[in-house]
Every structure is written in C-alpha cells, then in structure tokens.
Amino acid sequence: MGKVPKVMIVGAGLGGLMLAILLERMDDVEYEIFERSTTLKPYGAGMIIGPNILPVFEQLGLLDEITRVSFPRKSMDIYKEDLTLISSMLQGYDGLLFSRPHLHKLLLSKVPPEKIKYGKKVLSVGQSEHGVLLRCSDKSVHEGDILVGADGAYSAVRQSMYERLLKEKKLPKIDTQSLNVGYTCMVGTTTPQDPEVYNVLKDDFSHFAVVIADDKPHSWTIITVPGNRIAWGIVIQMSPEEKDAAFRNSEWGPESLGATILQVEHHKVPYGGTLGDLINATPRELISKVYLEEKLFETWNHNRICLIGDGNEIDGLLE
C-alpha cells in the first residue's frame, strides 16, 4: 500500500515510446526503457495513422506536431509492372502519411533522456509475487513491478516468458510453433529530391503507389512525404529454399542489401526513374532489410509480464 509501481519497458521502438509517453502523464507510476542498441538510428519508410487513432495523438498534445511533418492521403494507386494503372482506391477519410523516422523522432523527444537505458540486451526475465527481474548482457540486473516487452518479433521478453509457461505446461500449442517467414522486405526514405525531377513533390498531399511485378515475386510501394522526400518499400516473396536458408534477422540494419538491390533496381517508379534511383538517393546506412513474419500469438501476458508491439515496417507502409 502506498508504493509507487515501477514499469520496465524493453524496447525503444514506436510501441515502447508511446507507452512511455502515456506513463509520463501519470504521477503515481515510475518507468524506465531498456533498449538493446547503443544508439537509435532513423530507420524506416512511410507510415500512416488513420482517423481511428488520431484522437489519441490529439489528447496527448502531439497532433499538431505530427501534422506538420505529414501529408494527407487522398488515394492509393495500384499499377502493373509496365505502370499501367490497375485501380485507384479513394479513401473515405484522410489519414496522415509521414516517414517513420519523423514519428520515432517526435515520440523520442517526448521521453526524458534519463528514462532510456541504452546497450541493454535482455538475456532473461524472472518474476515472483513480489516483482519482476530483468537480466542484461552487460551483467546488470534491474527490478520492477511490471515488465512490458516491446522488443519486436523475436522478443527476448516473450521468449523468456514462454519458456517459463512451457515448463509449467501453460503455453498453448500454437505458441510453441515457429514464426513463418515468407517474405523479405527492404525499406528506406530518400534525401530531399528535386521537385522538377519528381513533379509529384510539388503537391501538398501524399502520392501513394503500389506496383505489382509481372510473373516475378516482387512488389514495391512508393510514398511522397514532406520535405521533398520519397519513402519506398520493396517486398520479395521467398522461395521454399530461401525460407529454409533464411537467417532470421530481428533487427533493422543494412545487412545483405546488395543481392536484393540487384533484383529490383531496374524496376520503374510511377513518378519517374527507377527503384535504383531511389535506393541511390537513400543513405545506405539507413536502408533496412528484414524478414516479414506471419504468426498470431495467443499469449500476450503472464502475471507481471505483458507484450506489446508496433508491428513491422511493411504494416506501416500498407495499412
């Protein structure tokens, strides 16, 4: 009675930072964020928030700020590989389209820096009726009352929690099965481009295009965002052999980009030029390649531990 509860958040992605902003507004809760990276880089491409979530940003006092770095979305255009228009899907309500790095930077700016602990790779978690323990690779141990895993598809918090539930025979069978990796995705956002080269950059709304390749396992999404920049994402369906050989990389990073770029750089973009042009206009260290996992977990909490997440980048591109 009378104790101020402490929440430990693992992961300084969108989900972890949004939770921190909510907790920042509560006087009777303490919290800390534990991030495995030593620095946070502005990875990512285009994202959209729709009218269903905009009231939350307004209530948190963030709506004006996110609006300033966003464009409204009017429609989504779908093309064949030769850029023949298949369909133009009009939207009933405008969403706000922006680059993921802008949203991440905004959320990060609202969390006091001293609340984020960097270089904290989680090895295991433990809990009792009195609290929860977090053990990190730097040999540090942290104590709290509630632990929230916001650390991605290969969450160390979830894995540790599931190991305990499995020993106690409380884990559903479906949660013991591996993630299904069917696609690889590469995303990025260009530096500012010349509106005379890309005329669509002159508009005060976002152009949103999806191109589906003919007889190839490729599709790509192109989105114009404020600042004369273009966000792009490329999805490639993996063959059974590639699935078997895939190294399951759970972190954003520029690893093994070369082979993927060679597969897609010649593809045309509806607004001019090729994917290769957009890739070359994007700082290589800010291009990300990840595997897209398909899995719906049933177990999201156990006693003092719960899981949240912001999904993967392609969700942000297409939702």
- 286: CB partners within 8 A, 6+ apart: 41, 42, 43, 101, 188, 189, 254
Predicted pLDDT at 39: 85
CA-to-CA dists, residue 271 to 128, 171, 200, 298, 314, angstroms: 57, 49, 7, 42, 21
Alpha helices per DSSP H over 86-236: 100-109, 156-167
Same domain, 284 and 191: yes
Predicted local distance difference test score (pLDDT) of residue 53: 85
CATH code of 163's domain = 3.50.50.60
Distance CA 176, CA 156 (A): 15
Q: What mean pLDDT comes out for the span 46-71?
A: 88
Q: Is the Cβ–Cβ distance between 212 and 80 less than 8 Å?
A: yes
Please indicate, yes or no, if residue 79 is contained in any of the structural domains.
Answer: yes
**Domain containing 286 — which CATH number?**
3.30.9.30
Contacts of 107 (CB under 8 A, 6+ apart): 14, 17, 18, 21
User: Considering the domain boundaries, does residue 266 fall inside one?
Assistant: yes
* C-alpha closest to that of 128 among 306, 318, 313, 303: 303
Q: 289 pairs with which residues across the strands?
A: 186
| Average pLDDT over the chain, rounded to an integer | 86
* Same domain flag for 124 and 264: no
Give every strand in the sheet of 301-302, ordered side by side: 116-118, 30-35, 6-10, 146-149, 305-307, 301-302
Query: 270 and 155 share a domain?
Result: no
> 301 with 280, same domain?
no
248 and 142 in a common domain:
no
How far apart are the C-alpha atoms of 149 and 11, rounded to whole Å? 7
**What CA–CA distances, in Å, run from 84 to 74, 87, 89, 165, 269?**
20, 9, 15, 52, 11
Q: Name the token pair of 129.
A: 């009726």
- Does residue 64 sit within a domain? no
Whether 15 and 150 have beta carbons less than 8 Å apart is answered as yes
**With a threshold of 0.85, does the pTM exceed it?**
no
Q: Which residues lie closer than 8 Å to 65 by C-beta, 6 or more apart?
A: 106
In a domain, residue 272? The reply is yes
Chain segment 14-46, per-residue pLDDT in tens: 999 999 999 999 888 999 999 998 888 777 788
The whole-number pLDDT of residue 244 equals 55
Instruction: Note whether 86 and 110 are same-domain residues.
Output: no
Same domain, 243 and 129: no
What does each C-alpha distance from 213 to 75, 78, 82, 210 come to in angstroms?
Answer: 20, 11, 8, 10
The residues, ordered by sequence, that sit 6+ positions from 101 with a Cβ below 8 Å of its Cβ are 42, 43, 44, 189, 286
Q: Is 61 part of any domain?
A: no
Closest CA to 141 of 157, 154, 124: 124
Examine the domain organization and report whether 270 and 216 are in the same domain.
yes
Predicted local distance difference test score (pLDDT) of residue 281: 96
Q: What is the pLDDT of residues 122-167, one digit of tens each?
A: 998 988 888 999 999 999 999 999 999 998 877 899 999 999 999 9
Task: Tally the domains of the chain.
Answer: 2
258 and 193 housed in the same domain: yes
Longest CA span, the chain: 67
Residue the block writes with tokens 């632990």: 147
What is the rounded CA–CA span in Å between residue 311 and residue 305? 19
Residue with more model confidence, 262 or 197: 197
HEC string for 68-118: HCCEEECEEEEEECCCCEEEEEECCCCCEEEEHHHHHHHHHHCCCHHHEEE
Q: Which domain holds residue 230?
A: 72-97+179-294
Kindly state whether residues 93 and 144 are assigned to the same domain: no
Decide if 59 is inside a domain: no
The span from the CA of 47 to the CA of 52, in Å, is 15
pLDDT band, residue 315 (cuts 50/70/90)? very low
Whether residues 109 and 245 share a domain: the answer is no
Q: Using one digit for the tens of pLDDT, what is the confidence trace for 229-241?
A: 999 999 988 766 5
Answer yes or no: is 200 within a domain.
Answer: yes
Assess contact for 288 and 101: CB atoms under 8 A.
no
On whether residue 119 sits in a domain, the answer given is yes
Please tell me whether residues 44 and 134 are part of one structural domain: yes
